Amino acid sequence: MNVVFVTGNRHKFHEALHILSAYGIHLHQDTKGYIEIQSDSIEEIVLFGIKEVMKRARDKSAYIIEDAGLFIEALDGFPGPYSSYVYRTIGNRGILKLMEGVKNRRAKFVSCVGFCSKDSDPVLFKGEVYGNISWFERGSHGFGFDPIFEFGSTGKTFGEMTPDEKSACSHRFIALKKFANFFMEYEKERA
């Protein structure tokens, strides 16, 4: 079973490759990108993006895109859908500065995966995990906000987890697991 993942982010691609391989799904990366509209809703961004991807698709391949973001409770959900821009600009150090002296450290990571093919309307799959913003950066694994996100009550940041550990519990894992279960049924019906 082949699926094309349209993403310019090699870390996301490798995590998804690893997660989906357990379901016998072979992932291929398409780095051409897609139009990411500005919206407060990750689902709206993904729905628009996957429709754009389908407009240029010339074959019968199955396509997915994913939008992910870090939502910090004390900052009213910031950076949320603007995570990419915020990471590129103020980065983890800037987030920790905004959180200086803030007692409520609660945050969540959200992943929304959008699937589409010539035979199917778009379908969205969401994954969320809860945790806390750490007081300083910890761990050298992963990417992006991983060193400042303590997962659940483990006290470990994603940056302190091995790739296998993160891929067994992350927001991306939850969304992709839902997608994989859907996609296996979808392939069976088409066979």
* Residues found near ligand ITT in the complex (CB under 6 A): 7-9, 12, 66-69, 83-84, 87, 142-146, 158, 170, 172
In the complex, what is the shortest distance from the CB of residue 12 to ligand ITT, in angstroms, rounded to a whole number? 5
Contact, 83 vs 70, CB < 8 A?
yes
In the complex, what is the shortest distance from the CB of residue 91 to ligand ITT, in angstroms, rounded to a whole number? 9
Set 30, 40, 59, 67: catalytic member: 67
Specify the residue, 156 or 172, whose C-beta has the smaller distance to ligand ITT.
172
Specify the residue, 83 or 132, whose C-beta has the smaller distance to ligand ITT.
83
Q: Who contacts 129 (Cβ-Cβ below 8 Å, separation ≥6)?
A: 108, 109, 151, 152, 169, 170, 171, 174
In the complex, what is the shortest distance from the CB of residue 58 to ligand ITT, in angstroms, rounded to a whole number? 21
Q: How far apart, in Å, do the first and last CA atoms of the chain sit? A: 11
155: alpha, beta or left? (left if phi > 0; alpha if psi -120 to 50): left
In the complex, what is the shortest distance from the CB of residue 148 to ligand ITT, in angstroms, rounded to a whole number? 9
Indicate if 67 belongs to the active site.
Answer: yes
Give the residue at shortest CB distance from ligand ITT.
Answer: 144
Beta bridge partners of 65: 114
Specify the residue, 7 or 132, whose C-beta has the smaller distance to ligand ITT.
7
> What is the rounded distance in angstroms from the CA atom of residue 138 to the CA atom of residue 140?
7
Element of type H or E holding 68: strand 62-72
User: Which residues are identified as catalytic?
Assistant: 67
